[in-house]
């Protein structure tokens, strides 16, 4: 049985030496294999993974590679396990860890910075200057699970204690996987100003981050909150999560609609979550002079931007990556307080053994899938529709 030197375990949580893990070969090729259960180092714990949500970035990594960087290159054929939006139960403690206890339920952030570069010292660990330098003789201690190290499509994973967020027993496994998504939205709004009560906000793109961006903005007191997108079913969920207005951009000009709904003037903030080619230019026309735009999505190709308009109107652009500056802790607090119901974006659940089907549902949006979750323990193979 699993008993590494210096690692604290419990007979209540027996750990095998080997685990089942999905491994990426060629692009799009995943195989279920046996891997050794990883060993936590100092300031790390071993998490028994109970549920993992599939993110659009997982699909990019599985089929295209970037933004993953495994051993300094693309992730293919390197025995790499993707997946980063997971939660679980603390199963073992690395040397010196007393911040968490075995048996405690947690959800996890993706990024553990090196802790020594300029950005990490500023609290910007998602912008760690030693990103990807976590292998070989130059190991800087950086981890980004599912990006630069193995991720969560497996039974156990190691996490730095700085990436853990304790969750209440009342929170379901599926909801806990969404804390990181809500945390990304929270990080974007934090960078735009944080205290947005009474400010007008547009969220463009009703994907998971955009929908929870609506929920977080409304929980922070924004007024009005306007959501734009192309899918009426997702716009409807946006209304349920707190949007004051929704705009289907296939039916009307989004810039004109936003200004009309905001009393004929531009809004204070735009949170761009669509990644559409003209999204930045449209956002710049939606905000008032001196307004702020947060870019939370990225187009696959480079796109032209009207810089002159941005400069003339003193518009501020912020790019964010992930769930930085401990935003997940604030998002979890909102979710624990039932300030919004994140489970509205969870649509399907599959067992871990059926990950290829779950990925197909997420990739092809089968049955209007939004957030698809896989569970590693005792889940029926029948998928579950939760957002009806």
DSSP string covering 173-189: HHHHTTHHHHHHHHHHH
pTM for the full model?
Answer: 0.93
DSSP string covering 104-157: -EEEE-SEE--SSSHHHHTT-GGG-TTTT--SGGG--S-EEBTTTB--SSBSEE
Give the three-state DSSP class for 208.
Answer: helix
**Residue 53: which CATH number?**
3.90.180.10
- Does residue 188 sit in the same domain as residue 104? no
Would you place residue 388 in the very low, low, confident or very high pLDDT band (cuts 50, 70, 90)?
very low
Distance CA 259, CA 275 (A): 21
Residues in the chain, how many?
388
Q: Rounded to an integer, what is the distance from CA 197 to the centroid of its chain?
A: 24
Of residues 379 and 44, more confidently modeled: 44
Does residue 135 belong to any structural domain of this protein? no
Of residues 52 and 190, more confidently modeled: 52
Q: Which residues span the domain enclosing 350?
A: 18-110+145-166+341-375
Does residue 171 belong to any structural domain of this protein? no
**What is the number of domains present in the chain?**
2
pLDDT of residue 194: 76
- Does residue 205 sit in the same domain as residue 253? yes
Would you place residue 387 in the very low, low, confident or very high pLDDT band (cuts 50, 70, 90)?
very low
CB 184, CB 320: distance < 8 Å: yes
Does residue 3 belong to any structural domain of this protein? no
In angstroms, the Cα distances linking 56 to 67, 85, 193 are 12, 11, 27
**Residue 191: which CATH number?**
3.40.50.720
Does residue 309 belong to any structural domain of this protein? yes
- Does residue 363 sit in the same domain as residue 232? no
| Average pLDDT score over the chain | 94
pLDDT digits (tens, 9 = 90+) for 191-214: 888 778 999 999 999 999 999 999
> To 10 degrees, what angle do helices 179-192 and 208-219 make?
60
In angstroms, the Cα distances linking 181 to 99, 113, 127, 229 are 24, 19, 18, 18
Does residue 276 belong to any structural domain of this protein? yes
> To 10 degrees, what angle do helices 208-219 and 232-240 make?
20
pLDDT, mean of residues 172-176: 97
pLDDT, mean of residues 337-364: 97
pLDDT of residue 378: 52
pLDDT digits (tens, 9 = 90+) for 216-274: 999 999 999 999 999 999 999 999 999 999 999 999 999 999 999 999 999 999 999 99
pLDDT of residue 193: 85
- Does residue 247 sit in the same domain as residue 158? no
Counting residues of the chain whose pLDDT is more than 70, the rounded percentage is 97
- Does residue 33 sit in the same domain as residue 161? yes
- Does residue 155 sit in the same domain as residue 29? yes
pLDDT digits (tens, 9 = 90+) for 225-239: 999 999 999 999 999
- Does residue 266 sit in the same domain as residue 357? no
> Does the structure show a pLDDT above 60 at 379?
no
In angstroms, the Cα distances linking 39 to 7, 9, 44, 251, 322 are 8, 11, 9, 54, 25
pLDDT of residue 381: 37
Give the three-state DSSP class for 317.
Answer: strand
Does residue 126 belong to any structural domain of this protein? no
pLDDT of residue 299: 82
Give the three-state DSSP class for 333.
Answer: helix
Does residue 117 belong to any structural domain of this protein? no
- Does residue 161 sit in the same domain as residue 26? yes
Distance CA 369, CA 55 (A): 12
- Does residue 58 sit in the same domain as residue 83? yes
Would you place residue 300 in the very low, low, confident or very high pLDDT band (cuts 50, 70, 90)?
confident
- Does residue 364 sit in the same domain as residue 256? no
- Does residue 105 sit in the same domain as residue 81? yes
pLDDT digits (tens, 9 = 90+) for 98-140: 999 999 999 999 999 999 999 999 999 999 999 999 888 888 8
Does residue 23 belong to any structural domain of this protein? yes
> Does the structure show a pLDDT above 80 at 313?
yes
pLDDT digits (tens, 9 = 90+) for 353-369: 999 999 999 999 999 99
- Does residue 206 sit in the same domain as residue 236? yes
DSSP H helical ranges for the chain: 56-63, 118-121, 173-176, 179-192, 208-219, 232-240, 254-261, 279-286, 307-312, 327-336, 355-364
């Amino acid at each position: 049985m699993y008993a590494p030197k210096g690692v604290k375990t419990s007979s209540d949580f027996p750990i095998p030496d080997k685990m089942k893990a999905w491994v990426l070969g060629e692009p799009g090729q995943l195989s279920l294999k046996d891997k050794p259960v990883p060993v936590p180092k100092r300031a790390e714990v071993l998490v028994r993974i109970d549920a993992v949500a599939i993110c659009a970035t997982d699909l990019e990594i599985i089929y295209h590679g970037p933004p993953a960087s495994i051993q300094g290159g693309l992730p293919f054929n390197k025995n790499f396990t993707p997946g980063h939006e997971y939660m679980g139960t603390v199963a073992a403690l690395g040397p010196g860890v007393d911040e968490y206890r075995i048996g405690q339920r947690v959800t996890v952030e993706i990024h553990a910075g090196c802790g020594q570069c300029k950005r990490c010292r500023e609290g910007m660990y998602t912008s760690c200057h030693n990103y990807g330098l976590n292998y070989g003789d130059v190991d800087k201690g950086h981890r980004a699970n599912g990006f630069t190290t193995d991720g969560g499509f497996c039974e156990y994973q190691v996490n730095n204690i700085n990436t853990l967020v304790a969750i209440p027993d009342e929170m379901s496994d599926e909801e806990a996987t969404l804390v990181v998504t809500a945390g990304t939205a929270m990080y974007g709004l934090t960078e735009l100003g944080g205290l947005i009560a009474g400010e007008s906000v547009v969220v463009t793109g009703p994907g998971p981050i955009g929908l929870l961006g609506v929920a977080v903005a409304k929980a922070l007191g924004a007024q009005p909150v306007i959501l734009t997108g192309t899918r009426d079913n997702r716009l409807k969920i946006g209304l349920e999560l707190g949007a004051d207005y929704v705009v289907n951009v296939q039916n009307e000009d989004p810039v004109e609609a936003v200004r009309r709904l905001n009393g004929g003037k531009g809004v204070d903030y735009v949170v761009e979550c669509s990644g559409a080619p003209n999204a930045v230019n449209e956002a710049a026309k939606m905000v008032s002079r001196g307004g702020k735009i947060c870019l939370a999505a990225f187009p696959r190709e480079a796109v032209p931007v009207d810089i002159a308009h941005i400069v003339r109107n003193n518009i501020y652009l912020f790019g964010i990556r992930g769930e930085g500056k401990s935003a997940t802790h604030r998002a979890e607090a909102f979710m624990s307080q039932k300030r919004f119901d994140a489970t509205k974006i969870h649509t399907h659940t599959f067992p871990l053994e059926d990950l290829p089907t779950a990925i197909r549902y997420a990739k092809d949006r089968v049955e209007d899938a939004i957030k698809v979750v896989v569970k590693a323990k005792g889940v029926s193979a029948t998928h579950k529709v939760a957002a009806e």
